[in-house]
Structure 1
Amino acid sequence: MTADAELPRAFAAIVDDFQALTEPDRLQLLLEFAEGLPELPASYADHPDLLEPVPECQSPVFLAVQVGVPDGAASVGLDAPVSVFLSAPREAPTTRGFAGILAEGLAGLTAEQVLAVPDDVPHRLGLDRAVSPLRLRGMAGMLGRIKRQVREKTQAT
């Protein structure tokens, strides 16, 4: 059993990609994730008040989580799909890269699967020596806030 066995498939593939590279190449891959972070949909870009700030990040990062379909039932279950929307400035490629990793790694997961993502995912990428601990805490902060929003929206404990 590999260290990432409990990760959802997309996250496990991302971790494997990082682990297969040398440290400088891991930084390059992180920059590729920064470039791949999707823009916010108009419903959030036009209403930044709907986004939650992530103060654990050194750069201004904002996120929103939808569980189930928009305008769906007020209460949704753990089997409902989750959509995560993240905003990070282009001038902060490390932070933006972490946001991109989360966006890709969480895409298509259910609420239950998102809640089961291990909190140590940032450390599994193998970037501990390449980026500051503060930046890794920022990614952990993003993941923690995403999980909290999922718990609140599913009324899970």
Structure 2
Amino acid sequence: MDRSTLLPPRLAEILDDFALSDRQEKMELLLEFSASLLPVPEGLAEPISQPESVPECMTPVTVYMHTQQGRLRFYFDIPPEAPTIRGYAAILQQGLWDTPPEGVLRIPDDFYLGLGLHYILTPQRLNGLIAIMAHIKRLASHALTSSS
């Protein structure tokens, strides 16, 4: 089975864009995504989702999840001084927008390999990406069990 079939359509499109890019273009794409990260809406943390801190990441990262009609939206609070982590978060934000929890849980843990980020980021940064994905999956799993 092609691993990209496990991905929501928008995330698969993003993966394809990165796959066609050389090393320099991958970094440029990541920085472009960084600029497009949507801010956390005011009031999201309390009534809708508890913030999920990602302590395994060197950069301070907090993930918020909004559930609407069984679909998930993720928001991230990440300092602007961390453009590569913000870029990865924006990829996940855009690629998973309105995806049901089951779709999020199907994404391979090493999804970042398909983007080729292991060629442009340090191992410490990659550990942060793995941790962010793990936290998103934990939130999606919680949403799935809460809805049953």
Q: How does the TM-score come out when normalised to structure 2?
A: 0.88
Identical aligned residues as a percent: 35
Q: Deviations over 1:22-42 (max 9, x none)?
A: 101100000001000001100
SS of equivalent to 1:10: helix
The one-letter code of the counterpart of 2:77 is: S
The aligned counterpart of 2:104 is 114
SS of equivalent to 1:42: coil
1:1-157 matches, cutoff 5 A = 2-44=2-44, 50-69=50-69, 80-155=70-145
- CA gap of 1:145–1:45, structure 2 versus 1, over 3 A, is closer
The one-letter code of the counterpart of 1:84 is: F
Measure, in 2, the Cα distance between the counterparts of 1:147 and 1:45. Answer: 18
Measure, in 2, the Cα distance between the counterparts of 1:5 and 1:22. Answer: 23
- Per-residue deviation, 1:122: 1.1
SS of equivalent to 1:5: helix
Asked if 1 retains the 8 angstrom alpha-carbon contact of 2:45 and 2:51, the reply is no
The one-letter code of the counterpart of 1:43 is: G
Q: Deviations over 1:12-65 (max 9, x none)?
A: 111110111110110000000100000110014799x93111112111110112
Structure with larger Rg: 1
Per mean C-alpha deviation after superposition, the further-off stretch among 33-42 and 116-125 is 116-125
**Moved segments of 4+, more than 4 Å:** none
> Structure 1: 5+ residue runs without aligned partners?
70-79
Q: How does the TM-score come out when normalised to structure 1?
A: 0.83
Measure, in 2, the Cα distance between the counterparts of 1:105 and 1:140. Answer: 16
The one-letter code of the counterpart of 1:8 is: P
- CA gap of 1:66–1:2, structure 2 versus 1, over 3 A, is same
